[in-house]
Amino acid sequence: MHGDVDHPNDAVLLKDDYENYHLRRGPYLNALSGDLVSKTFLFVGFSFTDPNLDYVLSRIRTTFREHQRRHFCIFKRRTKQPNETDADFEHAQIKQRLAISDLKRFNIKTLLIDDFAEITDILSKIERTYRTRTILVSGSAAEYGEWEAAASETFLRDLSGALVQQGYRLVTGMGHGVGDAVITGAIGEVYAHRKGHTEDSLVMRPFPRANPDPAERARLWEAYRQELASEAGICLVLFGNKTEGESTVLADGVRREVEIAREKGLTVVPIGATGYVAGEVWGEMRQSLEKYFANVTPELADKFEKLGIKVINPSELISRTLDFINLITKES
């Protein structure tokens, strides 16, 4: 906002620089104003004594009196310093309280901490909470077990649509037999209710399959899976089989995605009733839920159990899946 180390002659330092800021850097102020209206800010290590920011915040406050965006900031709670008198300490406390109260005018909520090390924990918590709203859909299906293809595809379409409807963002590598139905349901939900841009609800990353070199293709796919998992907080596992020769076998790619998800700290949610890799992973997790979930309550154990119970119509699994994902999202 006030310059760059690579352009020291343009740094904002003098009183004249501040007074002429709106003339020299008007586009920046407009961009910042737009972000402050449309996004949520977290101010860290910021004193709020900057006159330019105060100008922007004041304009927004007077323009959007009843509909201001909520922002947050972190301050270290004022403590008594060595050799500080009681009077000086009381004055400093009052000054901090007044600063916090003044920020409320701009709809900025202050979080007081006792130690700067707490900021790392806070940011980690924010990241976990944000990422749990994005779900990596891992699965492939050359066959659907006892279910017919039409019923299974309807289940996948309706499940992805329901997840998008509830505010989740889906990431898919377009696994065979699963990916098409997932994106169809998600896009259908976005268009049906005009829920912003498609990218806000769905990330599609088809695996590159044209490389003739098996070793190079495997390397690319591994990097691809790593990148997909990095965008999510939950890994939803469905089916997990592929054709090899004339046989249907477990999909090692889906199994690898589960491993990567765990390495990156994602919460793995296997829909065991769909069988194959998903069924195997569900069975493994069922043996020791406390290893995979921080807080295993009777409700969580019961809802997880239902993910593996066989059903006649796969669409019966939609409500069970939503119930479990909503539970772990709430608890995170």
Q: Using one digit for the tens of pLDDT, what is the confidence trace for 45-64?
A: 888 988 888 889 998 998 88
Both 147 and 99 in one domain: the answer is no
The number of domains in the chain is 2
Q: Which domain holds residue 52?
A: 8-128
Residue 241 counted as domain residue? yes
Both 318 and 203 in one domain: the answer is yes
* H or E element at residue 170: strand 169-172
Both 13 and 116 in one domain: the answer is yes
Both 149 and 285 in one domain: the answer is yes
For residue 162, the Cα-to-chain-centroid distance in whole angstroms is 18
Both 233 and 118 in one domain: the answer is no
Both 36 and 51 in one domain: the answer is yes
Q: How much is the pLDDT for 195?
A: 61
Of 91, 85, 95, nearest to 49 by C-alpha is: 95
Residue 283 counted as domain residue? yes
**Distance (Å, whole) CA 108 – CA 128:** 22
Of 139, 189, 193, nearest to 163 by C-alpha is: 189
Residue 2 counted as domain residue? no
**Which domain-ending residue is among 80, 107, 128?**
128
Please name the amino acid found at residue 41.
F
Both 36 and 158 in one domain: the answer is no
**Which domain-ending residue is among 86, 103, 128?**
128
The residues assigned a catalytic role are: 2
Both 173 and 207 in one domain: the answer is yes
Q: How much is the pLDDT for 188?
A: 93
Cα→Cα distances 218→79, 105, 177, 187, Å? 56, 55, 21, 30
Both 227 and 119 in one domain: the answer is no
Q: How much is the pLDDT for 331?
A: 65
Residue 162 counted as domain residue? yes
Positions of the chain with pLDDT under 70: 195-196, 331-332
Contact 325, 135 (CB under 8 A): yes
Both 178 and 255 in one domain: the answer is yes
Both 205 and 262 in one domain: the answer is yes
Both 181 and 293 in one domain: the answer is yes
Residue 1 counted as domain residue? no
Residue 154 counted as domain residue? yes
Q: Give the burial class of 40: count Cβ atoms within 10 A of its Cβ; 0-12 exposed, 13-18 middle, 19 or more buried.
A: exposed
**Which domain-ending residue is among 128, 143, 169?**
128
CATH of the domain at 151: 3.40.50.450
Residue 3 counted as domain residue? no
Cα→Cα distances 315→71, 151, 160, Å? 41, 8, 12
Entry pTM:
0.78
Q: How much is the pLDDT for 145?
A: 95
Tell me the pairing of strands 247-250 and 202-204. unpaired
Q: How much is the pLDDT for 210?
A: 75
